[in-house]
A and B are shown apart, each in its own frame.
Chain A
């Protein structure tokens, strides 16, 4: 009886997350679409809509292509709620995912667990608020901070935030043998694809993902993970 009640409690939490995530995401999406519409109507400044079709389709395809592999991969890593939040504010692979994964690593909570999903919600949410606040403060102090963060002396540092972040995240994640086993072949294939064949990460990511999952399945079946 207890197990049945617990199962119902888990399912109702997931259901609540999906309802809230899709409703709030839809409202925000609608507001985003209304923004240009209201600006156009109030100022009587409309684009030639026929010329917008091609650029909108192009940008949409680029964004969706990058997102397909991510939306398949991220729910078991950080939970559905974190994924809902991440797609509202963007920078998923660049910031939200590293935040969630590093938080689980630091707190010793495994990903793919209910606890991991809950911790990820907090980490991703706090990350979102931090970025919004940093941007807001920067806007308010724009004239003051602009010369500092645009300075040529600091440019190499800010040009290399992502390499530093990815390297550091790799240090946290790949400190376990099982994860190294999963990553080594995708890393080699990705490097060949990008460095030797010049393919973009948008093409390589789904391939890398599939290879890692296939390798994972093989090692799992052999009891080597």
Chain B
């Protein structure tokens, strides 16, 4: 059986489209609720527009590695599965790992490896789909009790909860920074470039508003450009 016919079948495209439309619908409803809520709290429309612009500008470049993962996966799994998996729930690393595990469980050498046939394909799809929902299921069970306890804590001591939030962010950022700084030299240099570029943008943002609104995007572009420069120098 040529599994690519199944992988690229009309049914696969339709199923993937239905799920992506469901996600888009959920997202649009959340955006509307957030918009109305912000307006009711006195946030101006100009600020909301800045939020939209920032959301778009920060998200474009990080989408490119996701697209690269799709390019890698399409010859192996067809278009609908990578399209769906990397639009919904998945991150490239987990999806490739899940697909690889599934393929090996069917006796193939791995994702796209020797013996990757229809059995390996359907295994990969099942492992990606079922394994992938675990974090979502976990979140659906625990978000409400966790955030309700935060709301109660906020009513007792609102200032402490602000500090708590800042501390949580600092803790996460510290781990992310350490991960990138302790990777390759180029990774560490790029982190530094992104960091310094954003600081400079913020420093001059009072004179040039554009720099404040797009500081993170400018920092990313600068960091990525310097990655090309450093790689050509260091190798």
User: Nearest B residue to A156 by beta-carbon distance?
Assistant: B231
State whether A122 touches B34 (Cβ < 8 A).
yes
Interface residues on A, range: 35 or more
Contact check, B171 vs A212: say whether CB atoms are below 8 A apart.
yes
Query: A83 with B143: in contact, given A132-B23, A159-B227, A172-B216 (CB under 8 Å)?
Result: yes
24 pairs across A/B with beta carbons < 8 Å?
Answer: A17-B33, A25-B26, A52-B127, A56-B126, A56-B130, A59-B132, A69-B172, A88-B23, A93-B176, A102-B58, A113-B162, A130-B60, A134-B60, A135-B87, A160-B190, A164-B223, A167-B219, A168-B216, A169-B216, A195-B178, A208-B175, A212-B174, A217-B167, A220-B163
Chain A proximity of B48: nearest CB distance (Å):
6
Q: Is the CB of B18 within 8 A of A31?
A: yes
Within 8 A of B (CB), among A124-149: 124-132, 134-136, 138-139, 142, 145-146, 149
Contact A163 B64 (CB under 8 A): no
Name B's A-contacting residues (CB within 8 A): 1, 3, 6, 9, 11-12, 15-16, 18-20, 22-31, 33-35, 37-38, 41-43, 47-48, 50-52, 54-56, 58-68, 70-71, 74, 79, 83-84, 86-91, 94, 97-98, 101-102, 104-106, 118-119, 122-123, 125-127, 129-140, 142-144, 146-148, 150-151, 154, 159-183, 186-188, 190-199, 202, 212-213, 215-216, 219-225, 227-228, 230-231
A43, A46, A156, A164 pick with most chain B CB within 10 angstroms: A164
Q: Which of B20, B180, B212 has the most CB of A within 10 A?
A: B180
Minimal Cβ-Cβ distance residue in B for A126: B55
Q: Report the Cα distance A121→B35, complex, angstroms.
A: 8
Inside 8 A of A213's CB, which chain B residues have their CB?
Answer: 164, 167-168, 171
Nearest CB of chain B from residue A178's CB, rounded to whole Å? 7
**When the two chains form the complex, which single residue of B9, B28, B41, B119 contacts A125, counting CB atoms closer than 8 Å?**
B28
Tell me the minimal C-beta distance from B214 to chain A in angstroms: 8
Interface residue A8 (Cβ < 8 Å from any Cβ of B): no
Q: Which residues of B contact A87 (CB under 8 A)?
A: 89, 135-136, 139-140, 143
A81:B30 contact, CB within 8 angstroms = yes
Chain B proximity of A53: nearest CB distance (Å)? 9
Contact B15 A167 (CB under 8 A): no
Q: Which of A40, A69, A74, A211 has the most CB of B within 10 A?
A: A74
Q: Decide yes or no: A112 and B140 within 8 Å by CB, A153-B228, A163-B183 being known contacts.
A: no
Instruction: Report the bound CA distance from A164 to B3 in whole Å.
Output: 39
